[in-house]
Structure 1
Amino acid sequence: MSRRTRIVLALIAVYAIGMAALLYQLLADLDPRYRESAEEGLIETAQLMATVIEQDVEYGALPADRIGGIFRDLYARRFSAQIYNLHKTRVELRAYVTNRHGQVVYDSTGRDLGKDYSGWRDVRNTLRGEYGARTTRDVAADQQSSVMYVGAPIRWNGEIVGVVTLGKPVQSFGQFVSAARGNIISVGVVSALSALALALMLSFWLIRPLGITSDLLASLRTAWWHDDQGRRRFSPRRAWRALRAQARAAGQEVRDAIAGRNYVQDYVQQLTHELKSPISAVRGAAELMQEAGMPPEQQHKFAANIARESHRMQEVVDRMMELTALESRRMLQNQQRVELAPMLQELAAGARARAPRLQIDLRIEEELAVEGDAFLLRRAVGNLLDNAVEFSTPAGGAGADIVLTLARDGRMACITVRDRGPGVPPYAQDKVFDKFFSLARPGSSKRSTGLGLAFVKEIATLHQGGVSLRNAEGRREPGDDSARGAIARLCLPAVKS
């Protein structure tokens, strides 16, 4: 994973963690706020009820019949109230009254009449002249059966002679909590995604204000094609592939914008490192040639060295410019159908002409075609074939030195180049596609620019494919070198015949 990708993913992760922490705090604070609101309403209602009861207290005796009549009439009332999404038709409030000893003299549910409630906090604290409240489950194992109770003192001649406690099932306002929680989650997720989308759009706008629309239209134009009768037709598959390529290119551009400085620094460091050696060689040769009395043959040798190193520097610069231009392409503009078999036949013939000492076999298992840039595809396969030629040694009639194969793998058209060279050392297997990484050729200490495989990787990515390079595997028999060498594999989405 590149540094740019890690930076982008880290920023997205920080944003996601921050939004998740904010949503978690809001959701955790939601239920207590609703409980506080419901408890505040219960306090006022309990105080009002206590005031009504105190009107009928005589010599400290509590009017249980009067209280029972009030609640009987209250439960009998029917009404219709639409509270947003809740339709309420009856009263869910419950109540009980205890005397000065904490004994229940009235219970609206009729379950606990005569019981001793002096141990409950709402009764005990209220009889002491303190605030008393509690939340208790009707069914111990059922959290949804919780009821919130609030007590209020009943006074006669300034003395507390009883307690009236009002209860409200938590489930009655819990549905509001659930609805609010769902709304907060929905709004939070939509807001987070909208903010992220806005940030991406803003990044696109800052990077290339007009590029997005033109690229999108260009990608959709590739979905139209002409059949054998010349009729214009639309291919949903081509449109989907073009949009995927555009999305991937846009994401790459955002990553480049975020980490552009590091990206440029990496390029400069790599290029400087690669040019340092030939520059030193040229400088040393030039200094030696300035010495008086140098024999002509030595001058010729150093001049040839200067020319060779200059050519190497020019090659590095040219390949680097090609690779940079390729990386800057967000998508393929002019795609066409490319028949792979004829292209491979031409490349194999060219390789045989350049390396007559090697036996190069071409195996076409199936006639396949892809959509893309024919020039770039030819360059990619040509680079793989050139690598195989440079690393191969003649087998002396024991089989093909290089095997170029075209075969289908699912929906992919795969081009395989196998050589019988020394293979890839273990330390280099994860670096072969890095820029400027190169291995010494067999029989010499020469190295390439190290940009060929990086070039192939960029071409494969542009064509929504992939490339790999691994050592050949297999059991060696005496005198059999078929298990030696490396296998390069370029896979691209195949199109229907």
Structure 2
Amino acid sequence: MTKRTRIFVGILLVYALGVGLLMYRLLADIDPRYRESAEESLVETAHLLAALVEQHSVDGQLDAEQLRPVFRSVYARNFSARIFDFEKTGVELQALVIGRDGIVRFDSIGQREGEDFSQWRDVRAALSGEYRARTTPRIAGDELSSVMYVSAPVRSGGEIVGVVSVGKPVQSLNQFVAAARRKTMLVGATSVAAVLVLAAILSMWLVRPFGLIADYARYVRSQRSFSLPRLGRRALGTLGAAYDEMRDALAGRHYVADYVQTLTHELKSPLSAIKGAAELMQEPAMPEADRQRFVANIGRETQRIQELVDRMMELAALEQQRRLPKAEPVALRPLLEELAASTEASGASRGLQVELAASDDAWVEGEAFLLRRAIGNLLANAVEFSPAGGRIHIALTARPRSIDVSVRDHGPGIPDYADERVFEKFYSLARPATGKRSTGLGLAFVKEIAELHHGRVTLRNADGGGALATPRCRASRRRRPERPASRQPLCCTVAAGGGPHRWKRRRSPGCCPSRAMTTKPPSRC
């Protein structure tokens, strides 16, 4: 993953984290806000009922019987109140009247009269002139049956003679909380989508404000019939091309500068060697043996420059390709068998052995020529870094969606300082046998080929010594159909009347009907 991609992914992660944290805080804050609103209404209701009870309490004696027919009538009422998306059809408010001793004197639902409520904190606080609220499950262990209570004191002659406690089931609030959370999530998702659309629009506006529209209009004018899907694909293709042009324009200058700098550095050494040899050859009294040695040095360094330039041009042409021009199913087993045979032949002078482990055939979608070049480069590196009499292992591993080709040698492996630089352009390690370095473009070439085949390549030290290179490509879902053997009869072209250059074809079981006649070579009809 490139630094630019990492920065882009990092920005997306920070944006997603910020939006997620904001949504989490908003969703967590919805329930307390709804409960605070409901508590404020319950406080007013509690003081309203407390004032009503105070009017009928004489000499400090609580009288709540006037509330019984009122609540009986309220609970029996049938109505329909549409509150946004919810319909309310009944009253869920509960009321308790509690004496100064904490005993319940009146319960609107008639279930807890006579119970001792003196230890509930809202009742205890109201009896002492303070305010508290509580949420208590009506059924122990069942949070869905929780009721939120607030209490207000009942006074007679300036003294607190009782408490009115008003409750509201929490379940009636949860439906509003759930609806608010759904709407908040919808707004958040819509905002994210709107930001992405805005980013796309800004990208189009900054990249090609007029060229994109002009290309699209030109394409529309050239069409005889209107096809919305075709126009959509054309617009996306034009947008993708515009993005590629912008990316190339931004990165091209630095890319060329880096290429020129590294190429100049690599050419400096062979050019210095050629210059030094040419100056020494100008000496008149140089021995012939030295002169031949310097001539050989000039030829070798010239060949190195030529190889470097050729490989660089080949790699540059490969990097310009966005995709393979012609991808087709490629069988890897025959390709690996061919490469293994040629590698063993090239390493025969050093006693190298090549072992191929490919029990099952595997197919990839790509170009056989490039795949042969990529694996051939890895095998060439394995030959150069293998000791005399060593072995090179080639393994083919097929997975449901990818294919791995492993090339392992038993050489010195990769030094720690070169582990992160092996795929850099012009970076090369000295060969153990000769001490010389290559152009440093082989592994970069392999990396580009792997990426064109929707894969990647890794190079690491193998367990037990040596280096292990593993290019991975995407598996092909189709295979190239086998060509059936031709069953057509053999044709002979024989001379016909009218001149030696006039020929006609005849079908025959084997050869021509008359050997005396002048014939052309047989061919298939």
- Could you say whether these structures have the same fold, taking a TM-score greater than 0.5 normalized by the shorter chain as the test? yes
The alpha-carbon distance between structure 1 residues 335 and 122, as it changes in their structure 2 partners (threshold 3 A), is: same
The alpha-carbon distance between structure 1 residues 81 and 461, as it changes in their structure 2 partners (threshold 3 A), is: same
d(CA) in 1 for partners of 2:190, 2:116: 53
In the alignment, which residue of structure 2 is the partner of 1:390? 384
d(CA) in 2 for partners of 1:292, 1:357: 35
Q: Does 1:150 align with 2:144?
A: no
d(CA) in 1 for partners of 2:368, 2:46: 85
Task: Name the aligned partner's letter for residue 460 of structure 1.
Answer: A
In the alignment, which residue of structure 1 is the partner of 2:432? 442
Contact 2:281 2:291 in 1 (8 A): no
The alpha-carbon distance between structure 1 residues 85 and 354, as it changes in their structure 2 partners (threshold 3 A), is: same
In the alignment, which residue of structure 2 is the partner of 1:22? 22
In the alignment, which residue of structure 2 is the partner of 1:422? 411
Q: How many residues align?
A: 444
Q: How does 1:121-132 map to 2 (within 5 A)?
A: 121-127=121-127, 130-132=130-132
Q: Does 1:326 align with 2:315?
A: no
SS in 1 for 2:151: strand
Contact 2:103 2:118 in 1 (8 A): yes
In the alignment, which residue of structure 1 is the partner of 2:78? 78
Q: Does 1:433 align with 2:427?
A: no
The alpha-carbon distance between structure 1 residues 388 and 164, as it changes in their structure 2 partners (threshold 3 A), is: closer
The alpha-carbon distance between structure 1 residues 264 and 4, as it changes in their structure 2 partners (threshold 3 A), is: farther
d(CA) in 2 for partners of 1:306, 1:204: 54
d(CA) in 1 for partners of 2:321, 2:419: 27
How far is 1:21 from its partner? Answer: 1.3
TM-score, normalised with respect to structure 2 = 0.66
The alpha-carbon distance between structure 1 residues 141 and 367, as it changes in their structure 2 partners (threshold 3 A), is: closer
In the alignment, which residue of structure 2 is the partner of 1:357? 349
In the alignment, which residue of structure 1 is the partner of 2:43? 43
d(CA) in 1 for partners of 2:413, 2:458: 12
In the alignment, which residue of structure 2 is the partner of 1:379? 373
In the alignment, which residue of structure 1 is the partner of 2:447? 457
Contact 2:43 2:152 in 1 (8 A): yes
Contact 2:270 2:304 in 1 (8 A): no
Task: Name the aligned partner's letter for residue 32 of structure 1.
Answer: P
In the alignment, which residue of structure 2 is the partner of 1:335? 327
How far is 1:168 from its partner? Answer: 0.8
Contact 1:391 1:441 in 2 (8 A): yes
In the alignment, which residue of structure 2 is the partner of 1:234? none
Contact 2:126 2:132 in 1 (8 A): yes
Contact 1:404 1:417 in 2 (8 A): yes
The runs of 5 or more residues in structure 2 that have no matched partner are 216-235, 482-525
The more displaced of 373-382 and 276-285 is 276-285
The alpha-carbon distance between structure 1 residues 110 and 441, as it changes in their structure 2 partners (threshold 3 A), is: same
d(CA) in 1 for partners of 2:355, 2:119: 94
The alpha-carbon distance between structure 1 residues 318 and 202, as it changes in their structure 2 partners (threshold 3 A), is: farther
Q: How does 1:69-468 map to 2 (within 5 A)?
A: 69-99=69-99, 103-114=103-114, 117=117, 120-127=120-127, 130-139=130-139, 141-154=141-154, 161-185=161-185, 187-189=187-189, 191-192=191-192, 195=195, 199=199, 272=261, 275-276=264-265, 278-279=267-268, 282=271, 286=275, 294=283, 312=304, 315-316=307-308, 319-320=311-312, 322-340=314-332, 357=349, 369-392=363-386, 395=389, 415=405, 417=407, 422-425=411-414, 427=416, 428=418, 431-468=421-458
The alpha-carbon distance between structure 1 residues 365 and 206, as it changes in their structure 2 partners (threshold 3 A), is: farther
CA offsets 1:94-115 (integer angstroms, 9 cap, x no match): 1112346655332224344345
Between structure 1 and structure 2, the one with the greater Rg is 2
d(CA) in 2 for partners of 1:147, 1:353: 88
d(CA) in 2 for partners of 1:413, 1:135: 62
SS in 1 for 2:65: helix
- What RMSD, in angstroms, separates the aligned Cα atoms of the two structures? 4.8
d(CA) in 2 for partners of 1:339, 1:81: 73
d(CA) in 1 for partners of 2:375, 2:326: 19
Contact 2:387 2:411 in 1 (8 A): no
The alpha-carbon distance between structure 1 residues 105 and 469, as it changes in their structure 2 partners (threshold 3 A), is: closer
Contact 1:137 1:146 in 2 (8 A): yes
d(CA) in 2 for partners of 1:178, 1:286: 83
Contact 1:94 1:108 in 2 (8 A): yes
The alpha-carbon distance between structure 1 residues 310 and 21, as it changes in their structure 2 partners (threshold 3 A), is: farther
The alpha-carbon distance between structure 1 residues 302 and 183, as it changes in their structure 2 partners (threshold 3 A), is: farther
SS in 2 for 1:445: coil
How far is 1:52 from its partner? Answer: 3.8
How far is 1:167 from its partner? Answer: 0.8
SS in 2 for 1:357: helix
Contact 2:395 2:406 in 1 (8 A): yes
In the alignment, which residue of structure 2 is the partner of 1:227? none
CA offsets 1:409-444 (integer angstroms, 9 cap, x no match): 66655555555x625245356654344332212321
In the alignment, which residue of structure 1 is the partner of 2:228? none
The alpha-carbon distance between structure 1 residues 291 and 102, as it changes in their structure 2 partners (threshold 3 A), is: same
d(CA) in 1 for partners of 2:101, 2:130: 16
How far is 1:371 from its partner? Answer: 2.4
The alpha-carbon distance between structure 1 residues 390 and 127, as it changes in their structure 2 partners (threshold 3 A), is: closer
Identity of matched residues, %? 48
TM-score, normalised with respect to structure 1 = 0.69
Task: Name the aligned partner's letter for residue 382 of structure 2.
Answer: A
d(CA) in 2 for partners of 1:73, 1:366: 84
d(CA) in 2 for partners of 1:380, 1:127: 88
The alpha-carbon distance between structure 1 residues 469 and 120, as it changes in their structure 2 partners (threshold 3 A), is: closer
Task: Name the aligned partner's letter for residue 138 of structure 1.
Answer: R
In the alignment, which residue of structure 2 is the partner of 1:12? 12
Task: Name the aligned partner's letter for residue 22 of structure 1.
Answer: L
Task: Name the aligned partner's letter for residue 37 of structure 2.
Answer: S
The more displaced of 353-362 and 92-101 is 353-362
How far is 1:18 from its partner? Answer: 0.9
How far is 1:342 from its partner? Answer: 6.2
Task: Name the aligned partner's letter for residue 279 of structure 1.
Answer: K
The alpha-carbon distance between structure 1 residues 124 and 453, as it changes in their structure 2 partners (threshold 3 A), is: same
d(CA) in 1 for partners of 2:22, 2:366: 47
Tell which has more relative contact order, 1 or 2 (C-alpha 8 A, sep 6+): 1
How far is 1:361 from its partner? Answer: 6.2
The runs of 5 or more residues in structure 1 that have no matched partner are 215-245, 475-483
The alpha-carbon distance between structure 1 residues 264 and 154, as it changes in their structure 2 partners (threshold 3 A), is: farther
d(CA) in 2 for partners of 1:457, 1:491: 10
Task: Name the aligned partner's letter for residue 461 of structure 1.
Answer: E
SS in 1 for 2:330: strand
SS in 1 for 2:437: coil
The more displaced of 151-160 and 86-95 is 151-160
d(CA) in 1 for partners of 2:367, 2:285: 51
